[in-house]
Chain A
Amino acid sequence: MTKKNLKLIYNNSLVGPGIFFALLFCLPLVGSNYTLAIFTMIGFYALVCIGLTMLTGYAGQISLGHAAFYGIGAYTSAYMTATLGLSPWLAILVGALISALVALLIGIPTFKLKGYYLALATLGFGIIVYTAFKELSSITGGSNGFFGIPSISLFGFEFMTDQSYFYLIWFFVFMALIFSRNIIHSRIGRGLRSIEGSEIAADAVGVNLMKYKLQIFVTSAIFTSISGSLLAHYVTFINPDLFTANTSIYFLIMVIIGGSNSIWGAIVGSATYVLLGELLKHYVPIILPNVGGEFEIVFFGLLLVLTLIYMPNGLVPQFIKIAGKRHKKERSAPIAFSIDTRATGGKTND
C-alpha cells in the first residue's frame, strides 16, 4: 500500500525529466549552430549548479570556490590527454577523484566554520587554486593557457561538433539530475534538509551533520569537475582566467536566481544566466557604445540583489505559482502573489 503513500511526498516519476529532455534533445533539429553552442554552455553550467544547489539549498552551505573544482577537472583532462596521451574518460575519472579528495581535505576544516566565514574560506581556497593554475606553468601552461586539448571519442565516435557535445553534456546533466533527485528523496535528503529545518533537532535524531555536509560537498565537487573536464575537450583551449573567483560567484548567482530549493533551479538558473548574458553582449554595446567589458558582473550583481529581495527562493517557485494559478483559475483566490519568505537558498543555517 505505501509505495503509493511514498508518491504522495516524493515525486520520483521520470515523466517530467523525460519530457523536458526529450524536447531539449529535439533542439538540434530546429536550432542553428549558435543556438546549440549556447545550450551546450548552459549544460556545462547546469551540471555544476546541480551539485551546488544540493550544497546551498539542501545542506545550507555556501561555496565561493567551486571554480577550483571546475579547473581541476579541466586541467587534469587537458594534461592527461594532451600531454600524457591517455584516455579522456580515464582523465575525467581521475579529475573527479582528485576533486573529491581536495574537497574532502578542504571540507573537513572549513565546515567547522559557518556563514560568512565558510564563504570566505572557500573563496580563499578558490584563489589559491587559481594561483596554482597560473604558476604551475610546466603542467598548465600558466597564463598563456593550455592549447590543443584533443576531443573526446566513444567507441570510435569522435565528439567534434557542437551538436555532439550538446548531447554529451546534457546526458550528464540528465544523469546528475536524476541522481541528485534520488538523493534528495531519501534518508540522505531528509538528513540534509533537517540541517536547515533545525540543526539542533537534526543532531538529536542522530544525523551526523558534518558527515552529510562533507558528502554533499564532495558530490558537488565531482559534478563540477566532470563539467570542467568536458568543457576542456569542448573548447580545446583553457587558461586560468576561466577559473577565477568571478566564475565561482557566477555559479552561485545562477543557483540563487534559479532557486536553490529545487534541483530544477540549477537548469533554470544557468539558462537564465547564459541567455541574459548573450542578450547583454548583443544589446549593451548598441545602447551604450563606450561601456567596458565589466558590465556583466554589474548587471548580474544587481540581478542577484533583486532576486534575494523579491523572490528569495528564485525563479522556480514563481513558475510553479504561475502554473498553479492557471490550474486554480476557477477558484480565483488571490493568494498566489504572497511572497514566500521561508527558507532562502543563500542563507546560512545558523
Chain B
Amino acid sequence: MIEFSHSKSLRKGNRTIYMKLFLKLAWRNVWRNKRRWIITFLAIAFAVFLTVLMRGIQLGTYDYYIKAISGSYAGLIQIQKEGYLENPSLRKSFIYSDKLKEILTSNSDIIAYAPRLYAEVLISSGGKSYGGVIYGVDPSSELKFSEFHRRIKEGRFLNPDSMGEIVIGDKLFKNLQISIGDKIILLGQGFDGALWDMKFKVVGRIKLGYTELDNTVIFMNLKDAQEFLSCENRVTNILILLSSIDKIPSVKASLSQELKDYGLAVLSWEETMPEFKQSIDFDNATGILFLFFLIVIVAFGIFNTVSMSVLERSNEFGICLAIGFKNKDLVLIVLFEVIFIALIGILFGNFLGFLFNYYLVKNPINLGGKYIAVYEEFGFEPKFTSSLKPRIFINTTLSMLFISIVFSLFPLYKLYKLEPLKGIRFT
C-alpha cells in the first residue's frame, strides 16, 4: 500500500481557494432546480424591467416638460429684483444695464437670454374691454429664445424695429372682434403710478396653446413697453436658457455671486414655477412608492425560494458541517446563490429596460386625441419619452440586490444556526 505523503502545508486559510470552491458550489446549486430559479429569475427580471422602464419614462418626460415649459415661459433660470417673486409689480423692475448684458454673455453655459417687461393692463376696442398682460420683449433675443414667432396664426410677429405694434393672443383677438391692422387702446398704470392710455396697431395673432395666456397676452416691443409704462431702460425679468438642465445649480450660484450687489435675485424654474416643480415631485414620489411595493412583492418570492432551497438541502448541509465546513461558509455559499440569481435577473431586466428606453428616446410617443386638450392647458405637445440616465439603472440594480439579500436573511440565519445532526436525516 502506498503511504500517504504527509503534507507540510496542512495549514488553514488560503482564502482564494475557499472562495473558488464556494462560488463553484453556489453556481452549480443554482442549476440544480432550474424551474424554481427560472421563475425567481423571471420575477426579478420583470420587476427590474418595469422599474427601469417606468423611471425612464418619468425622468425623461419630466426633462422634456421642464425644457418645454420653462423654456418659453419662465426660462430655466430667471433674474428678478429681490422681492418681485412674492409681489410682482412694476415697482420691482430693475435697470437692464450693459454691465448686466456683459455678465450674461460672458457665461459659456448660457446659450440664450431674453429680457421681459410684464404688466397688467386693460385692452379695449370698439366698446369691448378685457384684462390683458403686456409681454414687453426684445424680438431679436426672443428669436433665439422662445418659439413664440412660430405660433403666429395670422399676420406676423414683432420686428426688431417695431414701434407701436402689438401681437395679441388668439382668444383675446377673437373676443375683441378685430382684424389685423386695427388699432386698439391699452390702459395701464405706469412705473410712476399714473394711469396712461395709448393706441397700438395689431399686427399679428398668436396661439400659444396655454388658454390663460391666449386670453390675455399682448406682445409688444420692449422699448414700446418701457415708454408706455414710464420704465426707461427697465425690465421686470430676464429669462435664461442653459446648454443643459444639469448646469442650473452651478450657473445659478455663479450668477448670484456676481449680481449680489445689484439687489437682484437669481431663481431657477423650481422657484418661479413651484406648482410645476411640485407636480413633478408628487408624480416622482408616487412612482417610486409604487415601484417599491413591486420590488417588495417580488422579494417575498425570493424569500420562499431561498427557504425551500435551504430546507431541501438540510441533509447535505449537515454532512458538510460534519466534515468540516463552518456554518458561515454555508451561509456564504447560499448568499452567493442568491446574488447569482439576482444579478442574472437584474442584468436581463436592465437590458430589456434599456432597449425599451432607448427606443422611446429616439421615438417619443405622441399622445393624441383627447389628451391634447389637457396639455393645451399647459401649452405644449403631450409626449412620452424616456431617459437613459445611468442612475436609473444603478439605483434599480442596487435596490433589487439589497432587497433580495435582506429577504434572504431569515433563511440564512437559520442556516447559520444549523447543527449538523439537525440537518442529517436519521433513518
Q: Do A and B come from one complex?
A: no
A residues at B contact (CB < 8 Å): none
B residues at A contact (CB < 8 Å): none
